Amino acid sequence: MGRQRIEVHKLEKASNPQVTFSKRRFGVFKKASELCTLSGAEIALIVDSPAKKTYSFGYPSMEAVIDRYENMNAPLANNGNTEQLMEAARRRQTHYLMAELDAINEDLHKETLKRKVLNKKEKAGQTQNWYERSVDCINDKEQLNFFKNVLRELGDMVAQHSEMLRQKQVGLMQQNAAMVQQAELMQQNTTIGAIRDLMQPRAAAARPFYRGNSSSSNVMNPYGPMPSSSPLPPPAEPWNPNLESRQFF
């Protein structure tokens, strides 16, 4: 099978045109330099990149070619002049090297951006499944420091959670002890109240009581007639020995 023809169209992705421009510009400048060397033609190239940067290539120089274009009747450059040819060769080589350097710098810039994106993705993957990776396969000091910081943060989180659980357990134990003490106090008060009720004497039954003389017929005395009160004897006078009667014989 022969070479297949590639369809040429504008690239849609934002990063592709700049990369393609860098590669193709280098090739165009190289072809122009080879054409100048092989045929001695005077060539001037001005290229504007998608990033609004301007690049140029000229043989024997941009000024000479532009002047030649503006002055169509000017004489051709003397190709036999060795000094002019050497100066043109130096300029051509300088432009060639500058173009190659610019292409390398642009490629380096693109690779740097790609590397940053890959590093972000790699760090995101390490954050998700970092504990599943083997420590023996880690050779980067930055990754080791990253895992060290993650382990330290994880340890702090575990310690805080453990302290919260301990405080919660202490609170539950204190609440349980208070409830037990309250239940014991209620039971003790109930027992003391029951004992007091048992020890308290019962009230005596009320009996009817009637006042009045027992001889009255209209007064009812359920306990029978009350005895009549007899008058009390007068109190005895105190004994005086001087008043005692004497017997005379």
Helix (H, G, I), strand (E, B) or coil at 212: coil
The rounded distance, in Å, linking the Cα atoms of 103 and 99 is: 6
The rounded distance, in Å, linking the Cα atoms of 34 and 28 is: 10
Name the band, by pLDDT with cuts 50, 70 and 90, for residue 177: confident
Lowest mean pLDDT among 38-42, 133-137, 210-214: 210-214
Regarding the domain delimited by 13-74, which CATH topology (the fold level of the hierarchy) does it fall under? SRF-like (3.40.1810)
**Which tokens is 216 given?**
């009255």
Percent of the chain exceeding pLDDT 90 equals: 0
The rounded distance, in Å, linking the Cα atoms of 26 and 32 is: 10
Q: Are 61 and 88 in contact (CB under 8 A)?
A: yes
At a CB cut-off of 8 Å and minimum separation 6, what does 107 contact? Answer: 19, 22
| Per-residue pLDDT tens over the stretch 29-82 | 888 888 888 777 888 888 888 778 888 888 777 888 887 777 765 555 554 555
The rounded distance, in Å, linking the Cα atoms of 13 and 52 is: 17
Return the ∠ at Cα 180 (arms to 178 and 185), rounded to 5°. 95
Name the band, by pLDDT with cuts 50, 70 and 90, for residue 216: very low
Q: Are 36 and 92 in contact (CB under 8 A)?
A: yes
pTM of the entire predicted model: 0.29
Q: What is residue 37's predicted lDDT score, i.e. its pLDDT?
A: 80
**Residue length of the chain:** 249
Q: What is residue 149's predicted lDDT score, i.e. its pLDDT?
A: 82
